[in-house]
Amino acid sequence: MLFCFNMYAQKSSTPNNTLAHPKLVVGIVVDQMRWDYLYRFYDLYKPNGGFKRLLGEGFSCDNTFVPYLPTVTACGHACAYTGSVPAIHGITGNNWFDNNTQKAVYCVEDKSVQAIGSNGGEAGQMSPNNLWTTTITDELRLSTNFRSKVIGISMKDRGAIIPAGHAANAAYWYDQKSGNFITSTYYMKELPSWMQYFNSRKLVDSFYDKNWNINLSKEIYEKYCDVDNNPYESNQTFQQNAFPYNLKQYQAKDYSKIATTPYANNLLLELAKSSIQSEQLGKQDVTDFLALSFSSPDYIGHSFGPNSWEILDTYIRLDETLSELFNYLDKTIGKNAYTVFLTADHSGAHIPEFLQKHNIPGGRWDDGDIKKELNNYLASQFNQPKLISAVLEHDIYLNHPLLDSLKLEEGSIKKVITHYLLKKEIVLNVIDKPSASTATIPSKIREMVVNGYNPQRSGDLQLIMKSGVMDAGKTGMSHGVWNPYDSHIPLLFYGWGIKKGNLTRETYMTDISATIAALLHIQMPSGSIGKVISEVIK
């Protein structure tokens, strides 16, 4: 099929015989942003704020979904930038159990590289080597003979590394021990001087100095949110779960707390501005790319949930942060000279106890508890205590070496597990992952399971919980399941080459990189299964 896009309406100062292009693409991922935050808090966003600028001057795809399981951070960043799914790009979770090596693996771990910018340690032993396909950022580098600059930044290593791709000029992430942004020898031998200077400023302490209290009147939080102090919110980070938060006590002592405050977004904004200025992004005759992932909404969401004062305060402040970013881009790159997309890696569920308080179904069953209970039950049936190797994000991994040595038949073990789990009130279904394509379940769930299955890195059974049930501890919330509260994400485009408008037909996270590739007239990533959202492009 031939896709034809009329790009002539896009004004450009380039000669007629030269292909027009934006000076800079800024990809923004807001970690754990529910789609409905755009509209639940709409009346509270500023008229000149970031969200109303995107909604009013850009293009919003209002029914965009994650098309695979599990709906977690690493998979989401990989999908948005590869246009692919775990079955193809290989990032099957934040963590997985490798069926070939029989070892647990973190999504961006790489023991062959060393930390740059910190005093060693595992925090810097990271790279994109576990990602099997190219990203849209890789394809941009390829298309310009590597003249385009690509930089990824995030508080999380996986939020910086995966979007930046294999061929990035740099990826920087936050080291919670030192309070510095670091990288690895995969990218460079030492931090550039501008980054060394940025770290020396210790901006974290200046943000701690502000403390964290509500940004609007108390009456607004009471109108839009649950009560502030709830026993089902987590107090693990601050030993409290209600405003105000005294951050000054952590100055020069504990640099990890910043991640669970909105100030981490401000810190990332300052790094984005320094990256653009110091690396002269958007100043070449080719398109550059800044991949920016705001991680703190995820930390805050996990602790306090979508109905908390903390989440409302975070998004009111993020609205201002985005506005400042766009104003900076207007001044340094030029208005209508850059393209932005904003999405989320996943959404997030309501806290189960909050739902139950309002007579809505919800519950908890933690992966660790599932593994322990299953192994105990299987031990009573087969006299072997370790027939389950791992349970990760409701993915159940059988201990195949042990099964083989005992000459236990895999099918019979699966049957016993399935029969046991289906007796649980909170369980909806159990899917045999290698044969998921023929499972008698709704096609949407079946497709998500198939898209998430990789024989080297996935489990043998997929546990599907009933609505509102999550893999979480005793407090706070989580995500990872097929339901719309976890899979319905925002997707907005803005700037050069983008129409104004909105779309209500169903689109998918896999379509993002295909659409950016069409806009830039470059090849889509090597594992892409997405489709161009043609309505977006001028």
Average pLDDT for residues 386-404, to the nearest whole number? 96
Euclidean distance between CA atoms 110 and 94, whole angstroms: 14
Is the pLDDT at 10 greater than 90? The verdict is no
Residue 14 annotated among the catalytic residues of the structure: no
Least confident of 11-15, 214-218, 440-444: 11-15
Beta bridge partners of 151: 170, 290
What are the pLDDT digits (tens) for 344-382?
999 999 999 999 999 999 999 999 999 999 999 999 999
Q: At 263, which amino acid appears? A: Y
CATH 3.40.720.10 location in the chain: 24-355+483-536
Is the pLDDT at 252 greater than 80? The verdict is yes
Is the pLDDT at 7 greater than 90? The verdict is no
Band of residue 119 on the pLDDT scale cut at 50, 70, 90: confident
Question: Tell me, what DSSP letter sits at residue 508?
Answer: E
Euclidean distance between CA atoms 27 and 325, whole angstroms: 12
Lookup: tokens for 451: 């898209």
Euclidean distance between CA atoms 244 and 240, whole angstroms: 9
**DSSP codes of every residue in 312-374:** HHHHHHHHHHHHHHHHHHIIIIITTSEEEEEE-S---PPPHHHHHHTT---EE--HHHHHHHH
- 180's enclosing H/E stretch is strand 180-184
- Output the pLDDT for position 16: 63
- Output the pLDDT for position 329: 98
Bigger pLDDT: 178 or 10?
178
How do strand 461-465 and strand 427-432 relate by DSSP bridges?
antiparallel
- Output the pLDDT for position 17: 76
> Is 536 within 8 Å of 339 (Cβ atoms)?
no
Beta bridge partners of 462: 395, 431
> Is 62 within 8 Å of 35 (Cβ atoms)?
yes
- Output the pLDDT for position 15: 53
Euclidean distance between CA atoms 86 and 102, whole angstroms: 19
Whether domain 366-423+427-465 has CATH 3.30.1360.150: the reply is yes
Euclidean distance between CA atoms 245 and 266, whole angstroms: 17
How do strand 395-398 and strand 388-392 relate by DSSP bridges?
antiparallel
Is the pLDDT at 5 greater than 50? The verdict is no
> Other CB atoms closer than 10 Å to residue 491's CB: what's the count?
26
Band of residue 121 on the pLDDT scale cut at 50, 70, 90: confident
> Is 510 within 8 Å of 470 (Cβ atoms)?
no
> Is 285 within 8 Å of 145 (Cβ atoms)?
no
> Is 88 within 8 Å of 520 (Cβ atoms)?
no
What are the pLDDT digits (tens) for 22-59?
999 999 999 999 999 999 999 999 999 999 999 999 99
Chain centroid offset of residue 484 CA: 16
Q: At 301, which amino acid appears? A: G
CA distances from 97 to 101, 135, 392 (A): 8, 24, 8
Among candidates 324, 218, 219, 201, which has minimal Cα distance to 262? 324
Euclidean distance between CA atoms 262 and 265, whole angstroms: 6
- Output the pLDDT for position 18: 84
Angle subtended by helix axes 511-520 and 73-82, to nearest 10? 30
Is the pLDDT at 455 greater than 70? The verdict is yes
Q: At 166, which amino acid appears? A: H
Is the pLDDT at 9 greater than 50? The verdict is no
What are the pLDDT digits (tens) for 165-210?
999 999 999 999 999 999 999 999 999 999 999 999 999 999 999 9
Is the pLDDT at 343 greater than 60? The verdict is yes
Q: Which of 71, 73, 183, 510 is catalytic?
A: 73
Euclidean distance between CA atoms 388 and 460, whole angstroms: 10
Lookup: tokens for 78: 């990989």
What radius of gyration, in Å, describes the C-alpha atoms of the chain?
A: 23
CATH 3.30.1360.150 location in the chain: 366-423+427-465
Question: Tell me, what DSSP letter sits at residue 24?
Answer: E
> Other CB atoms closer than 10 Å to residue 30's CB: what's the count?
25
Residue 219: CA atoms inside 13 Å, Cβ hemisphere, count?
A: 0
Lookup: tokens for 75: 């998979």
User: What's the whole-number average pLDDT of the chain?
Assistant: 95
CATH hierarchy code of domain 24-355+483-536: 3.40.720.10
Is the pLDDT at 431 greater than 80? The verdict is yes
> Is 135 within 8 Å of 27 (Cβ atoms)?
no
